[in-house]
Copies of this chain bind each other. A is one copy, B any other.
Amino acid sequence: MAQNIKPYLKKGAIITDTGSVKQYSLQEIEKHLNKDDGFVIVGGHPVAGTEKSGPENGFASLFKGRWCILTPDENSTPEAIAQVTQMWEHCDMLVDTMQAAHHDKVMAAVSHLPQLIAYSIVGTVADLEGYEHKEIIKYSAGGFRDFTRIAGSDPTMWRDIFLTNKQTVLELIQRFVEDLIALERNIRWDESDKLFALFKRTQKIRKDVIEAKQDQPEHEKRLLEENAVQTNVDNKK
């Protein structure tokens, strides 16, 4: 894309993007649009969205109160950073700045690993032998449905995220498996105190998320509107 748009850009234009992985995409962009041609690049990532991709799934309050992370480098001018910041602030976003490498590390933890786990568990549960697919779907209100929502996200986008933030994602998978095996051991040996302590701790983390106002009222609202049609249909079909 950087290569394709180059002939149409003004000298001195500010280039920004909205990609989920910053080191890889900025390296690629800078191959074609660099400071020798007068371009100023300021990487950006608005951390907001739902499991639905594409412009038709946007809504007015999508960015409201969410964080946009800018990842300027040594060639990003203060003026360009200020302008990109202002653009996102006009969309009601909160703007933060960090190194591209740090961004990719933080996102691997709060976004890429959770997403991969959701894909993985939906695959596992759907493939279990001795279970009927229709039973799994029928009783999905037991918890499974929450993971299917996440695992309903755009396959192309997520394939590319995992492959372009590979090293950090691979490291985090190892950490996760290590912790899961420890938990498995707690269950096997009836270490109920350890289970209880972890579950208490995660409950506290949930409270932190709510206090930081990063829970998803807008998203819920949208789903509600979509589902309003559905609930008018007889549920007992």
Interfacial residues, chain A to chain B (CB-CB below 8 A): 47-48, 51, 64-67, 69, 92, 94, 96, 105-107, 109-128, 130-131, 133, 135-153, 155-156, 158-159, 162-163, 166, 169-170, 172-177, 179-181, 183-184, 187-188, 190, 192, 195-196, 198-203, 205-209, 212-217, 220-221, 223-224, 227-228, 230-231, 233, 235-237
Nearest CB in chain B: distance from A227 CB, A = 4
Contacts of A169 in B (CB 8 A): 187
CA distance A142 to B68 in the complex (A): 11
Name which residue of chain B comes closest to A234, CB basis.
B65
Q: Given contact pairs A69-B139, A110-B142, A123-B183, enumerate 15 new A-B contacts (beta carbons under 8 Å).
A: A47-B139, A67-B139, A106-B135, A117-B117, A118-B202, A124-B175, A138-B212, A138-B214, A152-B203, A153-B199, A153-B203, A155-B196, A170-B187, A173-B184, A177-B180
Contacts of A114 in B (CB 8 A): 121, 125, 142-144, 146-147
Identical copies of this chain, number: 2
Contacts of A141 in B (CB 8 A): 47-48, 66-67, 214, 216
Contact B137 A109 (CB under 8 A): no
The prevalent SS among residues of A at the interface is: helix
Contacts of A128 in B (CB 8 A): 109, 172, 175
In-complex Cβ contact of A67 among B138, B156, B188 (8 A): B138
Contacts of A205 in B (CB 8 A): 122, 126, 137, 148, 151-152
